[in-house]
Amino acid sequence: MTQAGKKKKRAVNRSIMLAKKIIIKDGGTPQGIGSPSVYHAVIVIFLEFFAWGLLTAPTLGVLHETFPKHTFLMNGLIQGVKGLLSFLSAPLIGALSDVWGRKSFLLLTVFFTCAPIPLMKISPWWYFAVISVSGVFAVTFSVVFAYVADITQEHERSMAYGLVSATFAASLVTSPAIGAYLGRAYGDSLVVVLATAIALLDICFILVAVPESLPEKMRPASWGAPISWEQADPFASLKKVGQDSIVLLICITVFLSYLPEAGQYSSFFLYLRQIMGFSSESVAAFIAVLGILSIIAQTIVLSLLMRSIGNKNTILLGLGFQILQLAWYGFGSEPWMMWAAGAVAAMSSITFPAVSALVSRTADADQQGVVQGMITGIRGLCNGLGPALYGFIFYIFHVELNELPMSESSSGGSVVAQYHLQQNSIIPGPPFLFGACSVLLALLVALFIPEHTNLTVRASNWKKHCGSHGHPHSPQAPGEAKEPLLQDTNV
């Protein structure tokens, strides 16, 4: 009787597995248009960040109108909470997408990331509150990189990630200028409606056109697979930092250099708009020029430097440019100084790709994912700490906007009323000077990193937990560290 029951149970299990396979292959629901490709991921990223880029100028104005007394502090807290929530949730969402597939989590992350957009004109308070909470799902890049890893071979992955990152940059090069022009000509309400429509288009594109990328043979075996805490632990990679002295030096360098960078991206455009007197069009042009120069720096210039002066010296040069850029931002009191420092900022963007290349060249093949995971985890932590730190420093140095008129003349220039000349502080941008000091420490630490060595992080536990729940196309490949100029949490 028991034997018959076992046979019956096995037959039922086989039927369930067959049904799952049929659903996945032929699907009770539409599976998308064509085979999974990098272009599906590119379109998803472009539409999401194009929608947010349109709102660059309106967001700066609404932020000051909503928090007129402590604008920089509240901006830092909002972006800081969003960044920390993204850091905490990214590993869990990645692990769940390994089990349930990428398409559903692409839909989830895009929907919740774009959910605050229509609230800008409905209720600004709810708009900023939902932005903070949306950090739990603001990890579209993590899922997109996993999507790309599913459908590419290892030797193709770096190029595919580069295409995704370039698309991200292209969306932010064009959209702020378009949003500023439409806002000036037709009002911010039209910009919000257009951004909402583009976000809805992105969601519809995922529902209708994006096919599932997780290999068919992985899906049935993954259903019901347990998710361990080690997979979902955002601090798992950080716990391994101290296991090798070289890794420790690299991670300290990344932390000290990326902490001010994350804070800068969260507040700098607001700083240009409200303190330096940039018009909406000038801010949009600044973003476009900085984006284009950064793309050139991270491709042509980086390649030339790596061949001519070596990996470590390229890192040191990038850190030197970052110190100069932040100091110039800190002491600069005129708009032309911001433009000049922006050109230097583009050159400083070579630092992290050079760090990734150093790790990739010196780490053993089975250590790549471990070390790159540590660096990515540290950057994620900085995305939460940096904005909050910058907002707090602005607050304690009393850099406020209480006296600043918000009107603009018909010629397009901001009516600043010489606000930045009325400030008593010798340093217009104190957080940027703090950031320069932080990067100087990073430069001193980087001097002790040997250019040629073998990283010996003990990866047995890492490989054990990745091997039991991961799959052959896991996104934790070396190429994943090549992240875009701006993160999800910094837009």
Residue type, 423: Q
Per-residue pLDDT reduced to its tens digit, 392-436: 888 888 766 544 444 443 334 444 434 443 444 556 778 899 999
Asked if 56 contacts 287 with a C-beta cutoff of 8 angstroms, the reply is yes
- 178 burial via Cβ count (<10 Å: 0-12, 13-18, 19+): middle
CA distance 391 to 385: 10
Q: Provide the 10 A C-beta neighbour count for residue 474.
A: 17
Per the CB < 8 A criterion, the answer to whether 232 and 298 are in contact is: no
Give me 361's structure tokens.
Answer: 């060249």
pLDDT along the chain (491 residues), means of 10: 55 47 41 80 92 89 84 88 85 78 88 92 90 85 81 72 76 86 89 95 92 64 56 73 81 91 86 82 87 83 87 92 92 86 87 79 63 74 88 80 43 41 58 93 92 58 44 42 43 45
Calculate Rg over the CA atoms of the chain: 24
What integer pLDDT is reported at residue 384 of this predicted model? Answer: 85
Q: What is the dihedral of CA 282, 285, 291, 292, to 10 degrees?
A: -140
Quickly name the fold that domain 237-400+428-450 has: Growth Hormone; Chain: A; (1.20.1250)
Q: Does this chain's domain 32-214 share its CATH topology with 237-400+428-450?
A: yes
Question: Is residue 47 a contact partner of residue 196, using CB atoms and an 8 Å limit?
Answer: no
- Give every CB contact of residue 440 below 8 A, 6+ residues apart in sequence: 323
* Cα torsion 19, 25, 26, 28: sign: positive
Q: How many CB atoms are closer than 10 A to CB 197?
A: 13
Which two three-digit tokens encode residue 477?
A: 């490949």
CB 58 within 8 A of CB 183: yes
What's the confidence (pLDDT) of residue 192? Answer: 94
pLDDT in tens, 143-201: 888 888 788 776 676 677 767 777 877 787 888 889 988 988 888 899 999 999 999 99
Report angle CA 400, 56, 146 to the nearest 5 degrees: 120
C-beta separation of 374 from 40 below 8 A: no
Q: What is residue 444's predicted lDDT score, i.e. its pLDDT?
A: 95
Domain extents in the chain? 32-214, 237-400+428-450
CATH number 1.20.1250.20 is the correct assignment for the domain at 32-214: yes
Q: Residue 363 forms beta bridges with which residues?
A: 455
Q: Does residue 363 sit in helix, strand or coil?
A: strand
